[in-house]
């Protein structure tokens, strides 16, 4: 972890375009990975030489206020509770943090019935943040889970992705047929 500590304006790093110590660290990791690839290509093919950079931010989900002054507005606001300027990846990592999962767990992405589904930790958690969640998506998640046979399996959907409560209930029942009982929506 690195705080966004600024480099000194008179330093060589600043003159080279590195405004923070974090930027220097990222460049060092890139150069080290490149060097390993060049000097040991046979060994490097089995290594993950990439890295992820995370920035602490506010939640991706709009908080419920519930004040009676603007209840109608709050209800409308809660229908699509994910902030407009946030990506699926932003929400995905927030869910991982809320579940207490390691951000370095492998994440596989797959299109099921025209929607992106994320598989975290070899089937420990499936996440679908699509806008049109169908029975086919639930069937696809269940089949994927059966293929991976994880000890624990959970599924998280975007609540506003269901067209109706009946669609949501059908998705839950479909997943239960595959032995998935921990199903949540955000």
129-164 pLDDT per residue, tens: 999 999 999 999 999 999 999 999 999 999 989 999
Q: What's the confidence (pLDDT) of residue 71?
A: 62
Closest CA to 179 of 132, 147, 133, 134: 147
- 73 occurs within a structural domain: no
106 and 167, same domain (yes or no)? yes
- 21 occurs within a structural domain: yes
Q: What is the mean pLDDT of residues 10-33?
A: 94
How many structural domains comprise the chain?
A: 2
- 120 occurs within a structural domain: yes
Q: What is the mean pLDDT of residues 60-85?
A: 67
| Alpha carbon distance 129, 79 (integer Å) | 14
92 and 141, same domain (yes or no)? yes
101 and 159, same domain (yes or no)? yes
Task: Provide the domain limits for residue 94.
Answer: 86-185
- 37 occurs within a structural domain: yes
- 92 occurs within a structural domain: yes
Q: What's the confidence (pLDDT) of residue 130?
A: 94
Q: What's the confidence (pLDDT) of residue 74?
A: 57
- 110 occurs within a structural domain: yes
39 and 101, same domain (yes or no)? no
* Average pLDDT over the chain, rounded to an integer: 89
137-142's contacts with Cβ under 8 Å and 24+ in sequence apart are: 137/112, 137/113, 137/171, 138/170, 138/171, 138/174, 138/175, 139/174, 140/110, 140/112, 140/113, 141/112, 141/117, 141/175, 141/178, 141/180, 142/174, 142/175, 142/177, 142/178, 142/180
Q: What is the mean pLDDT of residues 32-43?
A: 93
**Strand (E) or helix (H) holding 185:** strand 182-185
179 and 93, same domain (yes or no)? yes
33 and 94, same domain (yes or no)? no
Distance of CA 62 to the CA centre of its chain: 17
**Is pLDDT larger for residue 75 or for residue 48?**
48
- C-alpha dist (Å) from residue 181 to 11, 154, 173, 184: 57, 7, 9, 9
46 and 111, same domain (yes or no)? no
168 and 115, same domain (yes or no)? yes
Reported confidence tier of residue 121, pLDDT bands at 50, 70, 90: very high
- 140 occurs within a structural domain: yes
H-assigned helices in 2-51: 12-15, 21-39, 41-44
């Amino acid at each position: 972890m690195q705080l966004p500590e600024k480099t000194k304006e008179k330093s060589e790093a600043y003159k080279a375009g590195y405004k923070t110590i974090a930027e220097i660290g990222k460049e060092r990791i890139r150069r080290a990975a490149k060097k390993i690839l060049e000097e040991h290509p046979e060994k490097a093919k089995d290594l993950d030489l990439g890295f992820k950079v995370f920035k602490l931010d506010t939640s991706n989900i709009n908080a419920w206020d519930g004040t009676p002054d603007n209840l109608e507005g709050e209800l409308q606001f809660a229908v699509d509770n994910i902030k407009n300027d946030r990506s699926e990846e932003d929400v995905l990592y927030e869910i991982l943090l809320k579940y207490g999962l390691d951000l370095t767990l492998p994440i596989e992405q797959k299109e099921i019935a025209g929607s992106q589904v994320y598989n975290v930790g070899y089937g420990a958690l499936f996440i679908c943040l699509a806008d049109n969640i169908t029975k086919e998506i639930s069937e696809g998640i269940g089949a994927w889970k059966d293929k991976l046979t994880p000890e624990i399996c959970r599924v998280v959907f975007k609540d506003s992705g269901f067209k109706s409560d009946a669609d949501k209930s059908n998705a839950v029942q479909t997943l239960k047929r595959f032995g998935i009982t921990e199903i949540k929506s955000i």
